[in-house]
């Protein structure tokens, strides 16, 4: 149960480090704001309001007392009333002979409630006769009526006598300042997260076999440590790869000389079936050695240039057709142009098409473009590859089964080279079963 709830919460937790750190920063600040604001309202504000109410009601009761004691002396009452108006900001009117009618129970919300309630409390403590309190926060005005022996005392006071905006402004300032600091810390935090993101991108690029030479160490100590570990790992892997490549290159190169010698010696011998078989073997070996050398050399240094892929594909298809391949080509109306390493990409196409015509009687190719990518699909109706080996055939020197390859003479490098080249272009290559029965090779390239 607990576990399920955790999972539920996890769904709403942001995924990126930046968003998570932001949340860690914002939530405490918000909580502090809410707690301190509510405490402020509860303690400070209500105390302030009740003190203000106490003083206003006190002034009213002094006046009421005076009126009760000098009932007949209108002049004295009027003099005091105008004094209240001038000095105390209270508008007073005494209406002799009136009685207070019943007022509906007022409905106050928010500020009105706070002011009204404290006035009611103070009034009921001070007066035993009926009274009413009216608060209109919109109009910024409060009205109090009190029943005296001879009539009704009307007192109107401006809202400022009951309400101080300084506390209000204080709160606004607290929010503004916290917001400003929050923005500043977000900016700083972004700088902290950026190096981690760069490291992740560099690791991803390296994993795809791309160039990461522009990766720089930056950020906090731990991030730098991780970056340094990544760089060390990269150097180690590159060294291992280059050692193996050098060895393969050396072996292949050294084998070429004795092979050429054998070829010459065989050419001088009489043509018997045995000699013919040996010649075929030597030719196969030469092809393999050439294949190893091509693989080792790679086409990594070639520059990207804007290339017409439709033309390039047409070219490769034409030359494969000349060698006897039965290919149907479907091109997307307009020419497709994109930055490519033309030689490398041609080699990739030659490998894939070569395989298709080698292992199948018929091949279908289609090139199409979508909004942000280009799709190249090569399908055939041959024997295909068992599905569980779709990944393995991209490993160098991997061959599906030796019996079917004995006459094709490949070395298991065609697909790995093709994959390297596609990855080198930021694309993706994967295998599927073709609707024609054989293999379907999909290539997706970014535009």
Q: Applying CB under 6 A, which residues contact ligand ADP? A: 351, 355-356, 359-360, 380, 382-385, 393, 399-400, 404-405, 410-416, 438-439
Return all residues near 422 (Cβ < 8 A) that are at least 6 apart: 348, 428, 429, 443, 445
- For ligand ADP, give the closer residue by CB, 96 or 404: 404
Element (H, E) at 162: none
| Secondary structure letter of residue 75 according to DSSP | H
CB of 396 to ligand ADP, least distance (A): 8
- For ligand ADP, give the closer residue by CB, 158 or 298: 298
CB of 308 to ligand ADP, least distance (A): 26
Give φ, ψ of 272 to 5 degrees: -115, 165
- For ligand ADP, give the closer residue by CB, 147 or 351: 351
The closest of 443, 447, 311 to 375, measured between CA atoms, is 443
- For ligand ADP, give the closer residue by CB, 209 or 446: 209
CB of 18 to ligand ADP, least distance (A): 42
CB of 306 to ligand ADP, least distance (A): 29
- For ligand ADP, give the closer residue by CB, 362 or 428: 362
Alpha-carbon distances, residue 90 vs 43, 49, 84, 309, 381 (angstroms):
27, 17, 6, 89, 101
- For ligand ADP, give the closer residue by CB, 39 or 383: 383
Element (H, E) at 174: helix 165-207
CB of 402 to ligand ADP, least distance (A): 9
CB of 442 to ligand ADP, least distance (A): 13
Q: What is the DSSP string of 22-72?
A: HHHHHHHHHHHHHHHHHHIIIIIIHHHHHHHHHHHHHHHHHHHHHHHHTTT
CB of 440 to ligand ADP, least distance (A): 9
- For ligand ADP, give the closer residue by CB, 56 or 418: 418
Q: What is the DSSP string of 80-119?
A: HHHHHHHHH--EEEEEET--PPP-PPP---THHHHHHHHH
Give φ, ψ of 283 to 5 degrees: -60, -40
């Amino acid at each position: 149960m607990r576990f399920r709830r955790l999972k539920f919460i996890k769904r709403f937790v942001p995924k990126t480090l930046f968003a998570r750190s932001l949340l860690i920063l914002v939530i405490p600040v918000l909580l502090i704001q809410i707690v301190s604001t509510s405490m402020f309202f509860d303690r400070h504000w209500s105390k302030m309001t009740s003190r203000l109410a106490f003083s206003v009601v006190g002034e009213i009761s002094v006046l009421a007392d005076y009126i009760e004691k000098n009932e007949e002396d209108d002049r004295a009452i009027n003099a005091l009333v105008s004094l209240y108006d001038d000095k105390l900001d209270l508008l007073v009117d005494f209406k002799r002979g009136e009685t207070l009618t019943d007022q509906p129970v007022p409905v106050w919300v928010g500020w009105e409630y706070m002011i009204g309630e404290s006035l009611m409390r103070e009034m009921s403590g001070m007066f035993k006769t009926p009274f009413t309190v009216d608060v209109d926060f919109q109009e910024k005005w409060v009205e109090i009526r009190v029943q005296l022996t001879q009539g009704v005392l009307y007192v109107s006071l401006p809202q400022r006598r009951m309400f101080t905006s300084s506390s209000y402004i204080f709160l606004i300032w607290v929010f503004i300042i916290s917001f400003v600091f929050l923005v500043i810390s977000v900016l700083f935090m972004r700088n902290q997260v950026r190096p981690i993101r760069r490291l992740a991108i560099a690791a991803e690029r390296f994993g795809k076999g791309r160039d990461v030479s522009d990766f720089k160490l930056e950020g906090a100590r731990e991030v730098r440590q991780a970056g340094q570990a990544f760089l060390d790992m990269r150097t180690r892997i590159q060294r291992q790869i280059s050692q193996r490549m050098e060895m393969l290159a050396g072996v292949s190169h050294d084998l070429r000389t004795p092979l050429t010698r054998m070829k010459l010696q065989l050419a001088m011998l009489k043509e018997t079936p045995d000699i013919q078989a040996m010649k075929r073997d030597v030719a196969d070996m030469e092809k393999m050695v050439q294949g190893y050398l091509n693989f080792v050399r790679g086409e990594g240094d070639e520059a990207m240039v804007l290339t017409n892929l439709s033309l390039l594909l047409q070219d490769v298809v034409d030359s494969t057709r000349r060698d006897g391949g039965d290919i149907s080509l479907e091109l997307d109306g307009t020419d497709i142009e994109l930055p490519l390493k033309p030689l490398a990409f041609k080699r990739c196409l030659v490998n894939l098409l070569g395989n298709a015509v080698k292992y199948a009687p018929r091949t279908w190719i289609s090139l199409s473009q979508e909004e942000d990518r280009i799709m190249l699909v090569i399908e055939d109706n041959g024997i295909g590859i068992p599905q569980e080996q779709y990944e393995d055939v991209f490993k160098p020197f991997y061959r599906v089964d030796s019996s079917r390859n004995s006459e094709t003479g490949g070395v298991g490098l065609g697909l790995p080279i093709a994959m390297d080249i596609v990855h080198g272009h930021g694309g993706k290559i994967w295998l599927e079963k073709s609707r024609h029965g054989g293999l379907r090779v999909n290539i997706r390239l970014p535009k």
